Amino acid sequence: YGHKIKTDELSFGKGKTSKDKANRATVENVLDPRTIKFLRALTKRGIISEFNGCISTGKEANVYHALAGENAGGTSGELAIKIYKTSILVFKDRERYVDGEFRFRNSRSQHNPRKMIKIWAEKEFRNLKRIYMSGVVPAPQPIEVKSNVLVMEFLDRGDGAPSPRLKDYLYKDELEIARYYYKILAYIRLLYQVCRLVHADLSEYNMVVHDSKIYIIDVSQSVEPQHPMSLDFLRMDIKNVNGYFEKLGIELFQERMIFQFVIA
Ligand code: ATP
Ligand code: MN
């Protein structure tokens, strides 16, 4: 994963060695001092033991690999750390997800970007926890959230690399394609009926194939059925999933049939 960075080396002080400088350069490009402070605190508390390189750089967040500390809980020993970017611009359109959201109303922080990002990370953590605890839809185990830093179970491929997103997954045969399609439709329904959530950004980019199962990730924007736009988001999710499987050439269900199946 590129540079290995021990958390005690996450420093903005004046490093003397060239390694210090390299680490500082790597870190400074992506992590602001407050984020580093939170990572250090997580290390002190024994959640993280070693902070490694980047798994993914996104528009709104980067995901890093880390080794679990002794207090991280019952996981494989590896962690995925999602760090929301603290720059303001990309967070603008988030308000429409949080605005209609009963759970986050009256949190007066909606116009302070820092607080907004914190709310966003907490929202992903809570949604992830709800899915994980339900036991009916696979999701990475949420471990900790601290401001813009979310710590969860790392979904590994077995050889240290992250498990592939559905987009990058190579199917064994056509039967497997169809099985995954039906499975995903069932998960959309279980998310709705059991977890009381609509993913709202569901696509082949936000599902990971791990241990021959489909894991749902990236649930920061997920909303409850009471959200005024939840059914629009649901239709969008269904459309994305059908669009992806259409390209794989299997026979599809009509979107409005799936919609009825999910909400009925
Ligand atoms: P946004 O699109 O909101 O900026 P994002 O898409 O960058 O966020 P995620 O989708 O949550 O954020 O994660 C990005 C990528 O990181 C995923 O596509 C996946 O490849 C990898 N990833 C995320 N969580 C895990 C995990 N728990 N284990 C392994 N890999 C993960
Ligand atoms: Mn994503």
Q: What are the sequence ranges of the domains in the chain?
A: 7-88+124-153, 166-263
Residue 13 has pLDDT above 50, yes or no: no
202 C-alpha to ligand 2 centroid (Å): 9
C-alpha 47/C-alpha 58 separation (Å) is: 24
C-alpha 219/C-alpha 45 separation (Å) is: 26
Q: Helical H runs in 1-135?
A: 18-30, 33-44, 95-99, 113-134
User: What order of strands is seen across the sheet that includes strand 48-57?
Assistant: 48-57, 61-68, 78-84, 149-153, 142-146
- According to the annotation, is 32 in a ligand binding site? no
| Closest residue CA from atom 4 of ligand 1 | 60
What pLDDT, on the 0 to 100 scale, is given for residue 197?
Answer: 98
What residues are paired with 210 via a beta bridge?
213
For residue 26, the tally of other CB atoms under 10 A from its CB is 16
**Which of these, 116, 161, 147, lies nearest to 42 by C-alpha position?**
147
109 C-alpha to ligand 1 centroid (Å): 25
Rounded to an integer, the average pLDDT of 179-184 is 98
> Would you state the torsion angle of the CA atoms of residues 95, 190, 259, 249, taken in this order, to the nearest 10 degrees?
100
Which SS3 state, helix, strand or coil, does residue 23 take?
helix
| Cβ-count burial 13-23 (b if 16+ within 10 Å, e if not) | eeeeeeeeeeb
- Helices 230-247 & 255-263, crossing angle to 10 degrees? 130
- According to the annotation, is 82 in a ligand binding site? yes
199 Cβ closer than 6 Å to some ligand 1 atom = no
ipTM rounded to 2 decimals: 0.97
Tell me the pLDDT band of 163, cut-offs 50, 70 and 90: very high
231 Cβ closer than 6 Å to some ligand 1 atom = no
154 Cα nearest atom in ligand 1: 28
Q: Ligand nearest 169 Cα, by number?
A: 1
| Closest residue CA from atom 14 of ligand 1 | 56
What pLDDT, on the 0 to 100 scale, is given for residue 110?
Answer: 65
Q: What is the CATH number of domain 7-88+124-153?
A: 3.30.200.20
Rounded to an integer, the average pLDDT of 207-211 is 98
Rounded to an integer, the average pLDDT of 168-178 is 98
Contact assessment for residue 58 and residue 80, using Cβ atoms and an 8 Å cutoff? no
210 Cβ closer than 6 Å to some ligand 1 atom = no
C-alpha 20/C-alpha 199 separation (Å) is: 41
56 Cβ closer than 6 Å to some ligand 1 atom = yes
Q: What is the CATH number of domain 166-263?
A: 1.10.510.10
C-alpha 230/C-alpha 244 separation (Å) is: 21
Q: Strands 61-68 and 48-57, how do they pair? A: antiparallel
First to last CA, the chain: 44
217 Cβ closer than 6 Å to some ligand 1 atom = yes
Q: pLDDT, tens digit, for every residue of 28-41?
A: 456 899 999 999 99
Which SS3 state, helix, strand or coil, does residue 232 take?
helix
Q: pLDDT, tens digit, for every residue of 54-101?
A: 999 998 999 999 999 999 987 779 999 999 998 755 555 666 666 566
Task: Please list the active-site residues.
Answer: 201, 218
Q: Strands 78-84 and 142-146, how do they pair? A: unpaired
C-alpha 40/C-alpha 46 separation (Å) is: 10
124 Cα nearest atom in ligand 1: 11
Contact assessment for residue 128 and residue 117, using Cβ atoms and an 8 Å cutoff? no
